[in-house]
Amino acid sequence: MKLLDILTAPWAIEPAKLLEIQAIYATHLRGDKIDIASVEAKMGRPLNHQQLRYFIQDGVAILPIEGVIAKRMNLFSQVSGGSSSELIARDLRDIMNDPAAHSVILLIDSPGGTVDGTETLASIVANAEKPVVALASGTMASAAYWIGSAAQAVYIAENTTVVGSIGVVATHTDVSKAEEARGVKTTEIFAGQYKRIASNYAPLTKEGRQTMQDQVDYTYSLFVSAVARHRGVSTDTVLEKMADGRIFIGQQAIDVGLVDGVSTLDDLVVQLNHDRESGLSRAGVARSIQPKKQGAEMPNPTAEQIAAEHPDIAEHFRAEGATAERARIQAVEGQLIPGHEALINSMKFDGKSTAGDAAQAVLAAEKSTRAAMAKSLASDAPQPVVQTPAPAIEDKQLTRAELDAQAKAYMAAHPGTDYITAVKLIEGGK
């Protein structure tokens, strides 16, 4: 795909992220290349935005979908990270053939991406032979929601998770003035009335604008129809409540029907195993995780009543609770990555955060820090330098059994480290 095609193609993505992408490609279009090697030299480390493959926790395959989604990995993925819809589809096919996995969780943190490839991936999710559940952690917007909505159930990890932004956008970039400033003039020779109706080498005409609008409207109708089909509601409901381009946060997303509730990753793994043992059909998987309803209940005894009437039971619960709390704090401490001490300290003493919660929070904070650094460095617009190709490095892919064995060995050597963190550290080469 040419740079101009990338700039003008329809996108299902949050507007701010689209502007960031266009700025990077516009820099290339002007001839001011972003020197990846120079950016890495300034950061003192490789960008290392390799897409993560799936890993398995208690029989459930967890497939991360992070960053901007494109059909193939590209320049923006190198700078800010992202996911390829083709590679996600490959991983889903592998999971369907993996006897170690009976269910799938799509762990999504993405602002969306290109329309190209999204409908195909969503169809693969919807027709998967094994149960698929989506869990949004951070953001699930536009194309990411298109894909996530195709799962049998959709959850958010916390009440600050951002969901929605259902819409499509395309842009037209007139480069004629920029070429003129460089002493260049492009003349296009074409056949067919609409072949260059929205040429980038001239101002956008009324006819060209209408052609682009028609394409965007058609793609938007596909998006709306897909969400209605996936969520089991009418297109009118989607248009009225969900698909005006807004983003919804936490409970707002639940109220309009975009997601089914709030759940942690660990809880979903437990529920999917319970569903399998209970023999629930694929269509009913994980739907039993629902927010607690308020209603008339028998009054619960107070701590004071239990202590007065059953002191032995009260003492047992106190000892058990103290042991469990110490174990929880140690497990949270085990997720520490240097630079995030304050975050870990706050989660250690909030009385509720699990090791899995801490791992996700630290990884999200680390990713945010790295993205901010990459964006800051990219904005410096480094001057082109002579690039020497990096020596080829053999990338030996671990087998699933080797990865599992190394992760368990790492957990044994580092008490308090959970399985998910161990897998990510091993895949990251640590």
Tokens representing 65 are: 């979908």
CB-based contact 238:224 (threshold 8 Å)? yes
Q: Is 396 in the active site? A: no
- Axis-axis angle for helices 355-379, 265-278 (nearest 10): 130
Q: Which distant-in-sequence residues (6+ apart) come within 8 Å of 240 by Cβ?
A: none
In angstroms, what is the C-alpha Rg of the chain?
A: 25
Which neighbouring-strand residues pair with 97? none
Distance between CA atoms of 413 and 19, rounded to whole angstroms? 45
DSSP secondary structure letter of residue 283: G
Residue that is written with structure tokens 């087998």 in the block = 399
Given 2, 177, 185, 195, the catalytic residue: 195
Q: Report the 10 Å Cβ neighbour count for 300.
A: 8
339 three-class SS: coil
Given 110, 142, 149, 263, the catalytic residue: 142
CB-based contact 85:71 (threshold 8 Å)? yes
Q: Is 80 in the active site? A: no
Amino acid identity for residue 134 in this structure: A
Amino acid identity for residue 333 in this structure: E
Which residues are catalytically annotated?
142, 195
